[in-house]
Amino acid sequence: MAHWDEIVADRRLTLARVERHLADLHSDAYLLDELHAVASGGSTGRRGVFVYGWQAWATAYAGFMRPALWDRAVTPELAAAPNTVALVAAHHASHMTSALGQTFANPMVQIARFPVTQPIEEIVAGLNRFQPTMLLGYPSALAILAAEARAGRLRISPKRLYATSEPLLPEVRLALEEAFGALVANGGTSEAGPMAVGCWRGPGMHLCDDLVIIEPVDARGRPVAPGALSDKVYVTGISNPTLPLIRFEITDRMRLLDAPCPCGSAHRLIADVEGRLDDAFAYSGGVLVHPHAFRSVLGREPAIVEYQVRQTSAGAEILVVGAPADPATIEREIAAQLARVGVPRPSVRLRVVAGLERQATGKVRRFVPLAADPYEARTLALADGLGKG
Ligand SMILES: [Zn+2]
C-alpha cells in the first residue's frame, strides 16, 4: 500500500484520490466513469485498497457468479424455485461483493439486504417475510441465524447457503447444514478479487486459477507441496491490468488439495481456509453485537492501518495503529451503532498505539470479548448452533 501510486497503471489515479472516492461512497459508483474501487474491511491483515478497470470488474463478477449459475442450471429443484437471495453482510458498497451486486443488478434475481449491524430480531423478521432460496452472509452472522432457526424464531427453508469473507469453521458448517437442511458453500475472502469460490457439491473451494496465480508458501516464501498447510499465499492477478498485483502477500493459510472436486470442475481445489471466527460481543440483557458494528466504521477510515477491539462492560476500547484525524467522531459513530442494537449508554474509547500484539500465526486477534470465558458469553445466541461438540 505504501507504493500504491507507483504500482497503479492508470496515471490519473493516486491512492489519495481513490480514498476520497471511497469516503463518499454509500452505494456503488464509478470512478472516472469506468473504474470501480473497493477497500478491504480489515477483518484480517492490513487495510488494502483495490481498483478495477471495467473489463476486470465484469470478469470478477463472472468469476464469483459462475458456480451459482452452473449449480442453478444443473439442479431442476433450484431452477424451479424463486430466485430470491438474502444477503446478511456489510451494506457499505466499498466491500467488493456488495459493490459488484449493485453494478450488475439483475432484474431476474430478487435480492434483500440485511446489514449485520441491524438488531438480530429485525433480521429474523425480515428473513421470515422474504423467504430466501439462497442465504449468503458472514459465518459469524450465519451461526447466529442457525441458533435462531433452532430456537424456532427463524422459519426459512433456503436451499443453498453461502458463507463469505470470514473463515468457515467446520463446526459452523455443520451447525448450518443441520439447522437449515441446506447445502453450504464456503466463499472465503474476496477483497483482492475472486481468488477461490465456494462449491455446494463438496467441501473446500475452487481456485480461480484462470484469473489469479496462487502460490502457497511457507514463512520464508518457499513453495509448499499440495496437501501441506502454507503459512501465507502469494497472489498474482492476471485479469486486472489497472492494479497489477504481483506476488501480493496474503496471510491466510491455505492447503492445496490433490483430488478434484466431486462436481467435476477442472479448477484446482483448496481446503476451507483456516482461521478463527470473529467473536460477537455479548452485553448485559442478552444484547449481542456483531463484529461488523465496529468493522463498518473502522474499515472506512483510511488512516487506520490495523485495529483491535476489546469489549468493556459498557462498550469497547479500540486500539488502532495509524493516525486517525478525528478519533472523537469515530468513537461517536461506533457508540451510535452500539446504541442502535440496544447497548445502554455505550462508552467507546479509541487509543492510538505503535503496534498490536500478534498471535503465533502472525495475525492479530481483531475482536476480544470481555467474558473470562468468551464462549460462555456467546452461548446466549450460539449455544444451540455451536456447542454440540
Ligand atoms: Zn466443485
Q: Residue 371: what pLDDT? A: 63
Question: Cα of 185 to ligand 1 centre, how many Å?
Answer: 9
Ligand 1 center to residue 127 CA distance, Å? 28
Calculate how far, in angstroms, residue 249's C-alpha sits from the geometric centre of ligand 1.
Answer: 26
Q: Summarize pLDDT for 60-116 with one digit per residue, the tens.
A: 999 888 888 899 999 998 989 999 999 887 765 556 777 887 888 888 889 898 987
Q: Are residues 200 and 152 in the same domain?
A: yes
- Verify that 287 and 217 share a domain, yes or no: no
What gap in Å lies between CA 108 and CA 254, rounded to an integer? 36
Q: How many domains does one find in the chain?
A: 2
Spatial CB neighbours of 347, under 8 Å, sequence gap ≥ 6: 312, 314, 315, 335
If you measure from the C-alpha of residue 64 to the centroid of ligand 1, how many angstroms do you get, rounded to a whole number? 13
Please tell me the pTM assigned to this model: 0.70
Q: Which among 156-160, 200-204, 292-296 has the top mean pLDDT?
A: 156-160
| C-alpha 176 to ligand 1 mean position (Å) | 19
Residues sharing a CB contact under 8 Å with residue 271, sequence separation 6 or more, in sequence order: 203, 204, 254, 255, 257
pLDDT in tens, 107-150: 888 989 898 778 889 999 999 999 999 999 888 788 889 889 98
Given a cut of 60, whether residue 304 has pLDDT beyond it is: yes
Cα of 195 vs centre of ligand 1, distance in Å, is 14
CATH number at residue 295: 3.30.300.30
**Cell (9 digits) for 23:** 469516503
List, in order, residues 6 or more apart from 59 with CB less than 8 Å away. Answer: 211, 239, 240
Asked which of 277, 292, 307 is the last residue of a domain, the reply is: 277
Q: How far is the CA of 197 from the centre of ligand 1 (A)?
A: 9
The Å distance, Cα 202 to ligand 1 centre, comes to: 6
pLDDT of residue 334: 94
pLDDT of residue 92: 59
| 177 and 42 housed in the same domain | yes
Distance from the alpha carbon of residue 199 to the mean position of ligand 1, in angstroms:
5
The verdict on 303 and 269 lying in the same domain is no
What is the Å distance from ligand 1's center to 102 Cα?
Answer: 26
Q: Do 209 and 310 have their domain in common? A: no
> 301 and 219, same structural domain?
no
Beta bridge partners of 87: 113, 136
Rounded CA separation 163/330 (Å): 29
Answer yes or no: do 140 and 111 share one domain. yes
Q: Separation of 65 CA from ligand 1 center, angstroms?
A: 13
Residue 359 shares a structural domain with residue 296: yes
Last residue of a domain, which of 242, 260, 277? Answer: 277
Give the Å distance between the CA of 68 and the centre of ligand 1. Answer: 11
Query: Mean of the pLDDT values across residues 378-388?
Result: 37
**CA–CA separation, 229 and 224 (whole Å):** 7
Domain identity same for 152 and 114: yes
Examine the domain organization and report whether 40 and 57 are in the same domain: yes
Same domain assignment for residues 321 and 268:
no
The mean pLDDT value for 191-204 works out to 82
Q: How many angstroms is it from 264 CA to the middle of ligand 1?
A: 6
Q: Which helix (H) or strand (E) holds 248?
A: strand 248-250
pLDDT higher than threshold 80 for residue 44: no
Q: How far is ligand 1, taken at its centre, from the CA of residue 208, in Å?
A: 12
Domain termination site, one of 234, 250, 277: 277
Instruction: Say if residue 363's pLDDT is above 60.
Output: no
Whether residues 77 and 179 share a domain: the answer is yes
For residue 23, the domain's CATH number is: 3.40.50.12780
Cβ distance 19 to 49 under 8 Å? yes
Q: State which residues form the domain around 338.
A: 281-386
Q: How far is the CA of 161 from the centre of ligand 1 (A)?
A: 15
- How far does residue 207's CA lie from ligand 1's centre (Å)? 10
